[in-house]
Amino acid sequence: MKRHFFTFIMFCIAVAAAAQVERPKLIVGLVVDQMRWDYLYYYYDQYGEGGLKRILNEGFSCENHNINYMPTVTAIGHSSTYTGSVPSLTGIAGNNFHKDGKKIYCCDDNTVKGVGSDSKAGKMSPRNMWASTIGDELKLATSFKSKVIGVALKDRASILPAGHAADAAYWYDNSVGHFITSTYYMDRLPEWVEQFNKQNNTKPGFDIKPTNEGVTMTFKMAEAALKNEKLGQRGVTDMLCVSVSSTDAVGHAFGTRGKENYEVYMQLDKDLTAFLNALDSQVGRGNYLLFLTADHGAAHNPNFLNSHKLPGGGWSTGDTKKQVNEALAAKFGVKGDYISDVIDYRLYIDRNFLDANKLDYEKVKAAAIDVLKRDSQFVYVVDFERAAESAMPEFLRERTINGYNRLRSGDIMVVTRPDVLNYTFPRDYRGTNHGAWNPYDAHIPMLFMGWHVRHGSTSEPTFITDVAATVCAMLHIQMPSACIGNAILPVVEQK
């Protein structure tokens, strides 16, 4: 009897000790899609005092923060930020990739239906992602008492950050003009979301993403979730994952310079100011931990660069695919699509085509690599399976290996010259793209502010995979299941 009583007392002490772990009331993850690191300073004098400038002046900035994999695209950037991992381990090999020999979208899930919409836009979930997220680990650490919610215009920018155990992820369906979710999370929208959609909507079919209104809509929805779900106000640590998608859409359409990009960042700064004020009011200044980063950057438009005598050109993936297929047909005597797809610098060999024509995979791959190496646009052509043996600089080799998922990334990767971007463009084209290892695509902001964060900065190298490790270390919770990052010590040790 005494032994049972002693065990009970020890259990109570352990529970009490666990309850005393100090954590913020709320974690806010904010990803600004396509935000180059230099936007912090290029527009600094135009920012107001309460938004980005406030985070810079009050928070801690990692000035040499980079993406340590290729390709640098939205789905991977969001998943890597919140899992602390890379495509080789998360399964998220791109916005689009091949799974079981078929091209899929990163969040495709035909086992679910839309909630708030009957369109294909609702058939989404995080099931293609193998790893857990910060929010998943927070839920495990609090016996699932924490709430975790994702908000973005893009589905992948809401779903992947929020993780598998999220209470909700909301994204915008242009076909109906409002926020939706899927049956992965719930069977019907909460009443507050239905009310929000009635009061805040756009005409069905209108694409809100490449507009300043898209920035405002995102923050309004995030603030509505904060208020109606009482995030950070329930006696347990909650998490809100917000991604601003309009900055990416505007950049793709209008480039990294000019009126449109300036205006969308001014709108971001204005709406961020209001959002921070709402956090101060509802959760309390110093009671929330906020981090702000990007999923990738963007290259300057080649026409813009050329006009200033700077090198810049474009690569046609379609032309490369045709060139390789024609060369292989001539070599092996069989016409067809040896290369079935080119996605984000990666070439997919059609195994079914090879099997049907009794062609040797290794010989075809070697021949394809030989053809690609003759193209002066490419500084390296890599056999993914032998990437560790490639004669590349070590940092490129590491990024190649990190970005290669054996089941989903294809067979060959090309590395273009720094002045060759992965798109073609007419002379009047103003937009941009991203996806490469270069600093214009891979050097991104990383700011922390709020709970136990003092003002400062570091120029020591940090990586996108370090974000999850840092947040989890500050909260004293386990890192996500595939995390390979390290806690950023100047941030964690402030605590």
Q: Among all residues, which ones are annotated catalytic?
A: 74
Q: In the block, which residue shows the tokens 């209104």?
A: 213
Q: In the block, which residue shows the tokens 């699509």?
A: 337
Name residues whose C-beta falls within 8 Å of residue 230's C-beta, 6 or more positions apart in sequence: none
CA distance 492 to 473: 7
* Number of Cβ within a 10 Å radius of residue 295: 31
Strand residues in 440-488 grouped as ranges (E)? 446-450, 456-458, 462-463
In Å, how far from its chain's centre is CA 23? 25
Are the C-beta atoms of 52 and 273 separated by less than 8 Å? Answer: no
* Number of Cβ within a 10 Å radius of residue 363: 13
50: burial class by Cβ within 10 Å (0-12, 13-18, 19+)? middle
Strand residues in 184-287 grouped as ranges (E)? 238-244
Are the C-beta atoms of 23 and 450 separated by less than 8 Å? Answer: no
At 149 the three-state DSSP class reads: strand
Which amino acid does the sequence have at 298? Answer: A
CA distance 61 to 118: 43
Based on DSSP, count helices (H) and strands (E) in the chain, helices before strands.
19, 20
Rounded to 5°, the CA angle 326-331-334 comes to: 70
CA distance 329 to 279: 61
At 419 the three-state DSSP class reads: coil
Q: In the block, which residue shows the tokens 């060999």?
A: 349
Supply the angle between the helices 212-228 and 191-199 in degrees, to the nearest 10.
150
Name residues whose C-beta falls within 8 Å of residue 6's C-beta, 6 or more positions apart in sequence: none
Which amino acid does the sequence have at 163? Answer: G
